Amino acid sequence: MIQIRQEDILHKVQLQKLLIAVVDNSVLSQNTYFKGGTCAAMLGFLDRFSIDLDFDLKKGSNRDELRKEFKKIFKSLDLTIGNNNEKTLLFTLKYMAPQGLRNTLKLSVYEDIFKSNDYKTIYLQEIDRLVNCQTIETMFANKLVAPIDRYNKHQKIAGRDIYDIHYFFSQGYKFKKEIIEERMNIDVKKFIGNLIDFIENNFNEKILTEDLSTLLPYKKFNKIRKVLKQETLMFLRSC
């Protein structure tokens, strides 16, 4: 069971209400695949709190139709759309919350379709629903790609990416190398070498603290923050 801070319970409730509404919508559930940190945590693959909802788009889906269905759900749940980008299925959503608490969550549908990704219908006990999800091997491969991909696209580094890679390795999970080779267009061994260099040169404790300190209980965060970088590099070098 993932420990959730008292101040994050309202956000968790909002997150679950939105996910249930998406899964219960036949158009959305049949045209998207659940993925990301929240999915991994709900499946028991990850031990940290995750604050957003991420999905993959199913090939052949009608983006405009999905947008209309999402907006219907947002309205029914009294969620206000904080952004207005009609070109993507990326939504920043506001909800009512006491001052000082989280009041925003993001829902993203990624439109890059990779043929190597694998999906499976899995029961999510937290919401009592069967959901189309990425497999753990697919999640792990995409998480390995995430640090460099995020930096190339947005010039940002997320400490949670490194934490998740470390955790997946520590649990003995396997990754699907074909996904890495398809996404990065290089041999997986060469990519791992590039990722090692990237983490060595760009990742530091300050980045980890800014991104991850509110997603883990204090004791767990304090224990991992000083060893995360070196242990992650050890795992990568052993591939």
Taking only the tens place, the pLDDT of each residue in 132-144 is 999 999 999 999 9
Final residue of a structural domain among 99, 134, 169:
134
Separation of CA 109 from chain center = 11
CB atoms within 10 A of CB 103: 17
Same domain, 23 and 125: yes
Same domain, 124 and 152: no
Same domain, 127 and 159: no
Query: How many domains does the structure of the chain reveal?
Result: 2
Give the type of residue at 10: L
Final residue of a structural domain among 134, 168, 203:
134
Q: What is the pLDDT of residue 31?
A: 98
Give the type of residue at 74: F
Q: What is the pLDDT of residue 6?
A: 87
Give bridge partners of residue 104 from the DSSP assignment.
94
Domain CATH for 101: 3.10.450.620
Same domain, 130 and 201: no
Q: Alpha-carbon distance 168 to 137, whole Å?
A: 10
Q: What is the pLDDT of residue 1?
A: 61
Same domain, 117 and 147: no
Q: What is the pLDDT of residue 68?
A: 96
Phi-psi region of 138 (alpha: psi -120 to 50; beta: other; left: phi over 0): alpha
Quick: pLDDT tens for 23-42. 999 999 999 999 999 999 99
**Of 110, 133, 135, 116, residue with least CA distance to 29:** 133
Domain region containing 107: 1-134
Same domain, 120 and 228: no
Instruction: Print pLDDT tens along the chain (239 aa).
Output: 677 888 899 999 999 999 999 999 999 999 999 999 999 999 999 999 999 999 999 999 999 999 999 999 999 999 999 987 788 999 999 999 999 999 999 999 999 999 999 999 999 999 999 999 999 999 999 999 999 999 999 999 999 999 999 999 999 999 999 999 999 999 999 999 999 999 999 999 899 889 899 999 889 999 999 899 999 999 999 99
Q: Alpha-carbon distance 23 to 25, whole Å?
A: 5
pTM, full prediction: 0.94
Same domain, 24 and 127: yes
DSSP H helices in the chain: 9-24, 26-29, 36-42, 63-76, 136-154, 159-170, 177-184, 188-202, 205-212, 218-224, 228-237
CA 163, 169, 173, 176 torsion-angle sign: positive
Give bridge partners of residue 106 from the DSSP assignment.
92
**Of 130, 134, 144, residue with least CA distance to 114:** 134
Final residue of a structural domain among 134, 156, 191:
134
